[in-house]
C-alpha cells in the first residue's frame, strides 16, 4: 500500500494567520496532487480546516511554547511528524521564537533540512500582500524534491475560500430559528481584536491601536437600524470577549442588538458569514473569514498596512478598507461617517433585495 504523500505546512499563528494559509494549501494541493497536512497552533485550526478539500489532516498544538518534557502533545506531534519524513515541508512561520521551536520539532522527528523550505528565506516585496508572500513559498521546492517537482508549478487563486458543509448550514439555520433571527438581514459587528482582552480585563484604549470608541459603534448601529429597521445586529467575538461585548450592547441602549460571542464556534461562524447581510470589523481574523465567505465587509485598520493585510474576497468590491498607514495609524482616527459611507458602498449579496439609501446626510 503506497505511503500518503501529503505536503506538510507549519504555522504557529493566530486565526487570521492560519486562515491566510488557504491559498498556499490550495496551491500545494495542485502542485503535488495530494491535499496537505497542517501543523498549527490552537484548536481553531481543527475547526477551520476540518472537511476542507485542500487539507487531509490537522495536527493542532494548543500550547506550543511549553517545555518539551512537560508537553505530551508536542511529543505526539513529533511522532506524527516522523511518519512524514518523506514529504516536502513548508514552514510559514516568521516569528523567531516559534521558528526555533519548529526547527527543534523537525530535528527530533528526523526530518532533514533538505526536505524543508522557509518563508523567512523569501523576501517580502515592498507593499506586497502576505498571501503573495505565501504563494512564493508554495512555488518553491525543497532541495530533496527538486528533481521531481521543481517544474510542477501550478496557477491557483490568491483568494482564501472555504466550503460550508450541509451539516454546518443546517446547524446555523437551527440556531438562527431558535434565536428568533431567521428571516432578518443580519449585520455583524466585530469590535474586539487579539489585543483587546488582558488577563486583568480590557486593555486601555490608548494602548490598543484597533480600539474604536463606544459612541462610534453606537452611532453606526443607530444608522444601520434606521436604514434597515428589519435587521438584527450581532456583536461577534470570542467567548472571552463576551463581557466586553455585553458592556457595549448595554451602553448602546439599542433594540435588536445581541451578543453572540459564546455561540459562534468557527463552523457556525463560517456558515453565518456565508449568508449574513454584511460585517463591520476592526482588522482581525474574523474579518478575513468574512471576506473569504463573500460577506460584504467594512474593515478598519490601525497601525498595520492594508496593502500587506487587506482581506480578500472573490466578490468584486465586497471589501471596503478604512484607515491604516499612510492615512492613519489608529482606528479611532476613523469617523462613524466614514464607516457608514463605506457600508453603504458595499454590494448586495446575490438574492438580496434591500434598499439602503444614502446615510451620511440623514444621520450625521
Which three-class secondary structure state does DSSP give residue 135? helix
> From CA 215, how far away is CA 46, in angstroms rounded?
37
Q: Where are the domains of the chain?
A: 8-149, 166-363
pLDDT of residue 358: 40
> From CA 133, how far away is CA 219, in angstroms rounded?
38
pLDDT of residue 198: 59
Peptide bond into 265 cis (omega under 30): no
Sequence-distant (≥ 6) Cβ neighbours of residue 137 within 8 angstroms: 24, 90, 92, 117, 118, 119, 122
H helical segments located in the chain? 15-19, 22-32, 44-49, 72-82, 96-108, 130-138, 146-149, 166-179, 214-227, 242-252, 266-273, 285-292, 306-309, 336-344, 360-363
User: How is 298-359 classified by DSSP, letter by letter?
Assistant: EEEE-SS-HHHH----SSTT-EEEEE-TTT-SSGGGS-HHHHHHHHHTSPPPTT--------
Copy the grid coordinates of residue 128: 506586497
Query: What is the widest separation between alpha-carbon atoms in the chain?
Result: 69
Nearest-CA neighbor of 30 among 206, 165, 153?
153
CA distance between the termini of the chain: 68
H or E element in which residue 189 lies: strand 186-190
> From CA 206, how far away is CA 193, in angstroms rounded?
14
pLDDT of residue 363: 39
The secondary structure of residue 2, as a DSSP letter, is P
pLDDT of residue 38: 98
| Domain 8-149, second-level architecture | 3-Layer(aba) Sandwich (3.40)
Residues paired with 39 in a beta bridge: 10, 59
pLDDT of residue 197: 57
> From CA 301, how far away is CA 167, in angstroms rounded?
34
| Domain 166-363, second-level architecture | 3-Layer(aba) Sandwich (3.40)
Contact status, residue 37 vs residue 9, Cβ threshold 8 Å: yes
Q: pLDDT by residue for the chain (364 residues), tens digit each?
A: 567 799 999 999 999 999 999 999 999 999 999 999 999 998 889 999 999 999 999 999 977 667 776 678 899 999 999 999 999 999 999 999 999 999 999 999 999 999 999 999 999 888 899 999 999 999 999 999 999 887 777 789 999 999 999 999 999 999 999 999 999 999 999 998 877 755 555 677 777 899 999 999 999 999 999 999 999 999 999 998 899 899 989 988 889 999 999 999 999 999 999 999 999 999 999 999 999 999 999 999 999 999 999 999 999 899 999 999 998 999 999 999 999 999 999 999 876 655 444 433 333 3
Which three-class secondary structure state does DSSP give residue 10? strand
> From CA 201, how far away is CA 241, in angstroms rounded?
10
Q: Structure pTM?
A: 0.92
In the block, cell 528533481 appears at 147
Find the radius of gyration of the CA atoms of the chain.
21
Q: Same fold for the domain at 8-149 and the one at 166-363?
A: yes
Query: If 0-12 CB within 10 Å is exposed, 13-18 middle and 19+ buried, where does residue 72 land?
Result: exposed
Strand 257-259, strand 278-282: pairing: unpaired
Amino acid at each position: 500500500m503506497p505511503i500518503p504523500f501529503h505536503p506538510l505546512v507549519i504555522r504557529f499563528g493566530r486565526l487570521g494567520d492560519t486562515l491566510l494559509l488557504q491559498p498556499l494549501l490550495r496551491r500545494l494541493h495542485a502542485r503535488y496532487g495530494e491535499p496537505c497536512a497542517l501543523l498549527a497552533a490552537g484548536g481553531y485550526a481543527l475547526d477551520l480546516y476540518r472537511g476542507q478539500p485542500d487539507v487531509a489532516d490537522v495536527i493542532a498544538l494548543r500550547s506550543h511554547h511549553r517545555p518539551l518534557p512537560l508537553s505530551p502533545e508536542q511529543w505526539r506531534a513529533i511522532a506524527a511528524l516522523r511518519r512524514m519524513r518523506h514529504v516536502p515541508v513548508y514552514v510559514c512561520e516568521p516569528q523567531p521564537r516559534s521558528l526555533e521551536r519548529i526547527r527543534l520539532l523537525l530535528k527530533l522527528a528526523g526530518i532533514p533540512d533538505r526536505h524543508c523550505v522557509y518563508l523567512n528565506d523569501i523576501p517580502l516585496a515592498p507593499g506586497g500582500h502576505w498571501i503573495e508572500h505565501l504563494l512564493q513559498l508554495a512555488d518553491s521546492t525543497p532541495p530533496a524534491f527538486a528533481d521531481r517537482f521543481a517544474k510542477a508549478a501550478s496557477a491557483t487563486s490568491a483568494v482564501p475560500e472555504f466550503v460550508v458543509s450541509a451539516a454546518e448550514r443546517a446547524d446555523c439555520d437551527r440556531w438562527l430559528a431558535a434565536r428568533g433571527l431567521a428571516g432578518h438581514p443580519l449585520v455583524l459587528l466585530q469590535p474586539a481584536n487579539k489585543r483587546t482582552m488582558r488577563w486583568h480585563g480590557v486593555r486601555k484604549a490608548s494602548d490598543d491601536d484597533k480600539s474604536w470608541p463606544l459612541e462610534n459603534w453606537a452611532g453606526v448601529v443607530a444608522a444601520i437600524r434606521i436604514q434597515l429597521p428589519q435587521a438584527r445586529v450581532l456583536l461577534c467575538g470570542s467567548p472571552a470577549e463576551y463581557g466586553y461585548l455585553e458592556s457595549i450592547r448595554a451602553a448602546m441602549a439599542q433594540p435588536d442588538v445581541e451578543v453572540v460571542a459564546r455561540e459562534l464556534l468557527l463552523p457556525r461562524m463560517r456558515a453565518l458569514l456565508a449568508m449574513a447581510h454584511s460585517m463591520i470589523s476592526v482588522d482581525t481574523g474574523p474579518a478575513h473569514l468574512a471576506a473569504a465567505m463573500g460577506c460584504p465587509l467594512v474593515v478598519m485598520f490601525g497601525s498595520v498596512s492594508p496593502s500587506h493585510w487587506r482581506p480578500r474576497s472573490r466578490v468584486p468590491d465586497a471589501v471596503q478598507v478604512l484607515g491604516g498607514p499612510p492615512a492613519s495609524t489608529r482606528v479611532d482616527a476613523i469617523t462613524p461617517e466614514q464607516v457608514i459611507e463605506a457600508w453603504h458602498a458595499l454590494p448586495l449579496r446575490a438574492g438580496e433585495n434591500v434598499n439602503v439609501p444614502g446615510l451620511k446626510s440623514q444621520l450625521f
